[in-house]
Amino acid sequence: MITEHIGLDEISGSLVVLDDVEDAFYEEMVQLQLEDGSVRDGRIVMIEGKKAVVQVFEGTKNISMSNTRTVLKGKPMELSLSPEIIGRVFDGLGRPKDGLGEVYPVCRKDINGTAINPVSRVYPKNYIRTGISSIDALATLIRGQKLPIFSGSGMKHNELAVQIVKQASVADNEEFAIVFAAMGVKNDVADYFRRSFEEANVMNRVTMFLNLSNDPIIERIITPRCALTAAEYLAFECNMNILVILTDMTSYCEALREFSSSKGEIPGRKGFPGYLYSDLASIYERAGIVHGSKGSVTQIPILTMPNDDITHPIPDLTGFITEGQIVLDRTLETTGIYPSVSILLSLSRLMKDGIGKGFTRDDHKALSDQLFASYALVQDARSLASVIGEDELSDNDKTLLKFGKEFENKFLNQGENENRTIDRTLDLGWELLSMLPRNSLDRVSDDILDKHYKGGGS
Amino acid sequence: MSQTNYIYGINGPVVTIKGKTDLKMMEMVYVGRDSLVGEVIRINNDCTTIQVYEDTVGLHPGEEVISTSYPMSVTLGPGLLGNIYDGIQKPLTAIAEEAGVFLTKGVSTPAIEINREWDTEILIKQGDTVTGGQIFALCDETPIIKHKALVPPDCSGEVIFAAEKGKYKVNDCIAKIKTENGSVRELSLCQKWPIRTPRPAKDRLPITKPLITGQRVIDTMFPIAKGGAAAIPGGFGTGKTVTQHQLAKFADADIIVYVGCGERGNEMTQALNEFSELKDPSTGRPLLERTILIANTSNMPVAAREASIYTGITLAEYYRDMGYNTALMADSTSRWAEALREISGRLEEMPADEGYPAYLPSRLSEFYERAGYFETLCGQKGSITLIGAVSPQGADFSEPVTQNTKRFTRCFWALDKSLAYARHYPAINWNDSYSEYISLLEPWYRENVSPDFLKYRNEIAGILAEETKLMEIVKLIGSEILPDDQKLTLEIARVIRIGFLQQNAMHETDTYTPIIKHFRMMEVILYLNKTAKKAVAKQIPISKILATGIFDKLVKMKYDIPNDKPELFDGYIDEITKVFENLT
């Protein structure tokens, strides 16, 4: 039932209040028609008796109490979907932005989605080769995983994301597409992504949802949900492998904070609402593989850690939901290492079941365990060297320092267009480990060492 | 005469009804057209507040709220084991069959299969007198677990009808009891019990037995007792979930209830897959036959997350009442506390520490007090062991959930970020962790393993403490200038850390270690320590001792010795003796 109201009862921030509303429901879509004839969208976020609180996506500027006509649409927010959305560009609310006209919908879906029944999930095991050594060897990306990139302002997370998209797509012969959602990113960043996709010849496989930094903030809360609804449709109904890039989750969380405080909610840590965890989970958990469909949704959310602080609520809560994280390190970045992946902080939780014989190579697990353990020792040696000086170190520690340097320069560091095969990556790892004495490689069994260890040491 | 109530306000999972109602506090209600499950959480003169356990999108004011006049309850009976439920005991497998891949609202499928017939043996006959908690019927729930049907705790009297032995469905009446006040109660294989009320037991018994988990750092260093409570706090990526899964797989409890509370969907899928494939080391049957999974993933409704912990513990108590040792793993209780906070915020209650409600400590203590070693109403012995993971924000253990949990548990396994970064798993920090059960369990270790067990354990702990002290110095001046005996301590500590404390959950042999192997490993390491110390005292340089490679050999003994052949450790003792004889 569609009903129309004239006038509003209160305007505050991005919220307006309507009184005497019959039969409205939670999360119902609303359209507001202003005095000058322009139209804005909103949705009901709270109902009390006959009073409905409406969140206006484009803001309440220019809205007057008396001459606004409000239409209740009688349905929750939905996105028009068809296989033709691939290659299109939408705004943050899922409206076409590329001038190619409306999407002719095959179906319409509620953007809030519904939780996947844990019983219906298929445990992800199939790895995605990204051609980036640090990720392939040490934090392997698995199809159906959600693996965020924790970065800081001014670091090369966008370049890394683009490289993953370019190289992951090349390695795959199955149907593959990208859903890209920008939340509060600058125009030129969005443009960088678009250009890179074009250069890599994947633009005809990308669906973009753009809420740029000068677009209304409240729209940002909707943008990732639109993108994931599109991704779920393409994956589970069109059987495609979808890689979703969400950038920047920090802007999203800030938009949520702004919205929460305008509703007058009790703030939690750093002013973020108490339900930030549940809210982020409702986004991140929309990744995976389900029974009865060949498709998958893999998520790479990018977030910039405020002040590079990994204990800030946004990276902290994200880390508790996602299946690992790739952390970029500013010190590595300033020494010219790209990608500046801080491997000790990075982790892929699904990696253990997706590597080894039949997936990558039988020695993969031993190699990655040993690289982690040895690199952790490098950090100890470095902190010791900074106190007593490098010359005073034991020979063992000096070898470790040399290993650490080489590891960063040869293994972590690679070109923005360098696409390493998994064999190349693993062999490189063994080459580096062979710099260390054989008996210090305590995570590797003897038969694997016999096969791969090339060092001369005892 | 009950009046009809209508929805007035909706705010996320909280729904209000205007005016005075006849609803009772904590009563279960059905909300709206889809009959969403809800619970009354606040009543005052002009409004009644309900928390809804399902998604409230699409609810209209004015829809009906239907009273059930009983509190939030779970169904208890045969068919629970091997099942996977959501936070309010909706069977997820059955829902997937009915509604497909995505969870849909308002699907009402009974929690246990009602059409399955169980071969039932009836233990009572007409004329008997029964009391609450008595076992009155038996059936084989799974090949390893016998289900003992219990007379509801609040029911006692004379049996006026008892069915014959045979096949019965869970809702079939198999006995009738004439209670003292003259009314007749029908008993079937299943019963209901409110989740927020602990099931009664006759008595609490002192704690005497450890829960053997096969994890060296736990069983040896920081053991947990059957009937005890433990907390596993740790930031993300420190291995809480892997540790919980390991405990669920290998703990020597009869029944495991695994509650995934606000965690990842893929992890629950993994648990479900692994538990159906893995065999119980003691019975050889799939682990799922002794396990109940409760999955309320982070994107499922927040109120059901709050209830999932209580649902889990009520199921565990039911099996305890049959005389089983049960263990409940809750991953993670922080998500539960956050759910409390979220609901409390929506109710506009006055917040205490970090926005958590002031009743957080009392709720936590109520929960952990449901653990214990009991004499049940039917006179058998049963226990509930609680193991709760805590996810402190920013890995800061001073936050309220960790601190309050610490007060109510006696075993604390602190997971450490720096250990996890170096891929030392389980990343249980030996300096910050503790177990108050060690002294209580001393007699058990003395009788069942060896009189020396605790002595060895304390020696190992002493070496590790010594190492921590020495590392302070090493961090400042390097290890080169330490005297040889202190260098030896560092080397032995390295063997302990890598060879003993580290345990590889993915390794076929190492994933589970029987308690006798713990003991023999400690024995060999300490023997090496003793022998090497003597050698150092005789001025043999430490570099020469290390060059023999015996230290590295010990590091790998956890992989090299099969779990069923502890006698092979004698070879190591001989070898150590020989190596050092050759040195002098």
Domain shared by B428 and B463, yes or no: no
Q: Please, is B312 exposed, middle or buried when counting C-beta atoms within 10 Å of its C-beta (0-12, 13-18, 19+)?
A: buried
**Rounded percentage of chain B residues whose pLDDT exceeds 70:** 99
Query: Among A33-37, A81-85, B435-439, B572-576, where is mean pLDDT lowest?
Result: A33-37
Confirm whether B79 is domain-assigned. Answer: no
Q: Is the pLDDT of residue A147 over 60?
A: yes
Last residue of a domain, one of B15, B46, B71: B71
| Closest Cβ–Cβ partner in B62, B299, B393 for A316 | B393
Q: Which residue has the tokens 């040399």?
A: A402
Domain shared by B16 and B119, yes or no: no
Domain shared by B174 and B222, yes or no: no
| Closest Cβ–Cβ partner in A114, A145, A442 for B555 | A442
User: In whole angstroms, how far apart are CA A354 and each of A96, A274, A361, B65?
Assistant: 38, 35, 10, 48
Confirm whether B102 is domain-assigned. Answer: no
Quote the Cα angle for B453-B457-B462, to 5°: 150
A387 touching B (Cβ < 8 Å)? yes
A403 touching B (Cβ < 8 Å)? no
B331 touching A (Cβ < 8 Å)? no
Chain segment B114-134, per-residue pLDDT in tens: 999 999 999 999 999 999 999
**Which domain CATH number covers B177?**
2.40.50.100
A239 touching B (Cβ < 8 Å)? no
Q: Which residue has the tokens 């090496």?
A: B528
Chain segment B332-391, per-residue pLDDT in tens: 899 999 889 888 888 888 888 888 899 999 999 999 999 999 999 999 999 999 999 999
Confirm whether B529 is domain-assigned. Answer: yes
Confirm whether B81 is domain-assigned. Answer: no
Spatial CA neighbour of B420 closest among A73, A405, A409, A324: A324
Domain shared by B174 and B210, yes or no: no
Confirm whether B195 is domain-assigned. Answer: no
Domain shared by B389 and B292, yes or no: yes
Query: Among A167-171, A385-389, B234-238, B539-543, where is mean pLDDT lowest?
Result: A167-171
Helix axes A276-284, A313-321, angle to 10 degrees: 50
Chain segment A6-22, per-residue pLDDT in tens: 888 888 888 899 888 87
- DSSP per-residue string spanning B497-517: IIIII---TTSTTTT---HHH
A271 touching B (Cβ < 8 Å)? no
Q: Is the pLDDT of residue B4 over 60?
A: yes
Beta strand pairing status for B229-233 and B411-412?
parallel
This complex has an ipTM of 0.86
Domain shared by B331 and B362, yes or no: yes
Yes or no, beta carbons of B393 and A50 under 8 Å apart = no
Confirm whether B151 is domain-assigned. Answer: yes
Yes or no, beta carbons of A392 and B270 under 8 Å apart = no
Average pLDDT, chain A: 89
Q: Which residue has the tokens 């190619």?
A: A100
Strand partners, B256: B291, B327
Number of domains making up chain B:
4
A347 touching B (Cβ < 8 Å)? yes
Confirm whether B196 is domain-assigned. Answer: no
Query: Among A59-63, A153-157, B198-202, B251-255, where is mean pLDDT lowest?
Result: A59-63
Query: Among A221-230, B159-168, B201-210, B471-480, where is mean pLDDT lowest?
Result: B471-480
Which chain B residues have a beta carbon less than 8 Å from that of A26?
A: 10, 56-59
Is A90 in contact with A96 (CB distance < 8 Å)? yes
Three-state SS letters, chain A: CCEEEECCCEEECCEEEECCCCCCCCCEEEEEECCCCCEEEEEEEEEECCEEEEEECCCCCCCCCCCCEEEEEEEECEEEECHHHCCCEEECCCCECCCCCCCCCCEEEECCCCCECHHHEECCCCEECCCCHHHHHHCCEECCCECCEEECCCCCHHHHHHHHHHHHHHCCCCCEEEEEEEEEECHHHHHHHHHHHHHCCCHHHEEEEEEECCCCCCHHHHHHHHHHHHHHHHHHHCCCEEEEEEECHHHHHHHHHHHHHHCCCCECHHHCECCHHHHHHHHHCCCEEECCCCCEEEEEEEEECHHHCCCCHHHHHHHHHCCEEEEECHHHHHCCCCCCECCCCCEECCHHHHCCCCCCCCCHHHHHHHHHHHHHHHHHHHHHHHHHCHHHCCHHHHHHHHHHHHHHHHHHCCCCCCCCCHHHHHHHHHHHHCCCCHHHCCCCCHHHHHHHCCCCCC
According to the model, what pLDDT value does residue B75 have? 94
Residue A194 CB coordination number (10 Å)? 17
Domain shared by B472 and B373, yes or no: no
| Closest Cβ–Cβ partner in B101, B341, B549 for A439 | B549
Q: Which domains does chain A have, with CATH numbers?
A: 3-75 (2.40.30.20), 79-353 (3.40.50.12240), 364-452 (no CATH)
Last residue of a domain, one of B141, B168, B190: B190
**Which domain CATH number covers B468?**
1.10.1140.10
Interface test with A, best of B93, B267, B299 (most A CBs within 10 A): B299
Yes or no, beta carbons of A372 and B423 under 8 Å apart = yes
Chain segment B11-21, per-residue pLDDT in tens: 888 899 988 88
Beta strand pairing status for A176-185 and A241-247?
parallel
Interface test with A, best of B243, B302, B423 (most A CBs within 10 A): B423
B439 Cβ contact list (under 8 Å, min separation 6): none
- The DSSP H or E segment spanning B56 is none
Last residue of a domain, one of B156, B190, B224: B190
Domain shared by B387 and B279, yes or no: yes
- The DSSP H or E segment spanning B203 is strand B203-205
Domain shared by B12 and B154, yes or no: no
Yes or no, beta carbons of A439 and B92 under 8 Å apart = no
Domain shared by B168 and B302, yes or no: no
Return residues 382-441 of B near A (CB < 8 Å).
391, 393-396, 421-423
Domain shared by B378 and B521, yes or no: no
Confirm whether B63 is domain-assigned. Answer: yes
Nearest CA in chain A to B554: A442
The pLDDT confidence band at residue A26, using thresholds 50, 70 and 90, is confident
Domain that holds residue B479: 453-583
**Which domain CATH number covers B44?**
2.40.30.20
User: Chain-centre distance of CA A69, in angstroms?
Assistant: 39
- C-alpha distance from B357 to closest chain A C-alpha (Å): 12
A2 touching B (Cβ < 8 Å)? no
B8 touching A (Cβ < 8 Å)? yes
Domain shared by B176 and B213, yes or no: no
Beta strand pairing status for A206-212 and A89-91?
parallel
The mean pLDDT of B406-411, rounded to a whole number, is: 93
**Which domain CATH number covers B246?**
3.40.50.300
Chain segment A312-321, per-residue pLDDT in tens: 999 999 998 9
Rounded CA-CA distance B237/B421 in Å is 9
